Amino acid sequence: MWYSFAKPFNLIRLIRYRFFLFAGLLPFFLGQAIAFGLHGALNWIQFWVGFTGILFILIAVEFFNEYFDAKEGGDRIFSLEEVNIPKSFFAFGISAVFAAFLIGLYLTYTTGWLVMAFSFVGFMGAYFYVGPPIRWAYRGFGETVIALCYGPFMLLGSYYIQTKSISIVPVFVSLISGLSIFSLAILNEIPDYYQDRLVGKRNLVVRLGKVKAIVLFKLSLGVVFLLLVIGVIVQAIPFSSIFAMILVPWILKSLRIIEKDYDDPKAFRLAVNTMVLSHVVIAFSLGSGFLWD
């Protein structure tokens, strides 16, 4: 199969919804919501310029992942369908990074040097996640890179372009966001355990094994909800953020599926979708709380 941008379905398949939309864009919106809720700061030009920059870097992530995974055989080692990724994907990825860099320069000029620091970290995560020579995903650091880039760095960068400052509240919320996506990253890798081993991806699931990886997943997810409760108690986050606790019964049900059917991809899909939903609801609860409380 040849990827063609003339075919919308191929483009949709390229953009993997869990990480591109939910994990990638929600921290940006959450940072904007905190800035507005705490300080009434909402510069629409900064909002849309920042959003465009994040969009470009997320597009670059997808192009790089597809290109380098195709070279290494990742994600397709058990597939009978031939997938030919054009070499132009690398050029598209570089172009998207360059566009994000130009936007970063503008935001640095209008706000401060921290934007360029966040932009540099974003590049390190976007390119070297699977790109040589570092290849974070192959060395057991991929999940941590995802958590940092899609949590603290993206959320704090979003907050900073509106307020030109960093404070304890967005840092606290960014930990919740980062741990939530860390949990999702661990869970997402479990069905790919065997093919990741075969292509040399020494991620945390491969290093720990499926059973211990599930324990790590449960611990990190538990800390997410613990931080939510602590944040409400100490009034670091709005009380309405506790709304996310309505997910607990579904999460407990999904955990039973995860523990029982971790070698059954079809059954496992329900658990993954539930965790994607929990990530969205947590972000929505936090963001709406800062906007309306």
CATH number for the domain harbouring residue 164: 1.10.600
Report CA 21 to chain centroid distance, whole Å. 9
What is the rounded distance in angstroms from the CA atom of residue 61 to the CA atom of residue 20?
A: 9
Measured between alpha carbons, how far apart are the two ends of the chain, in Å? Answer: 50
Give a yes or no: residue 3 inside a domain: no
Give a yes or no: residue 25 inside a domain: yes
Cβ(26)–Cβ(154) below 8 Å? no
Give a yes or no: residue 200 inside a domain: yes
Domain count, the chain: 1
Model pTM? Answer: 0.85
Q: pLDDT by residue (tens digit) across 238-287? A: 888 888 888 888 888 888 878 877 777 676 777 777 778 888 888 888 99
- Which one-letter amino acid corresponds to residue 107? L
| Token duo for residue 280 | 């969205």
Segments forming the whole domain that contains residue 151: 8-292
Give a yes or no: residue 1 inside a domain: no
What is the rounded distance in angstroms from the CA atom of residue 252 to the CA atom of residue 272?
A: 13
Q: pLDDT by residue (tens digit) across 4-46? A: 444 444 444 444 444 555 667 889 999 999 999 999 989 999 9
- Which one-letter amino acid corresponds to residue 167? S
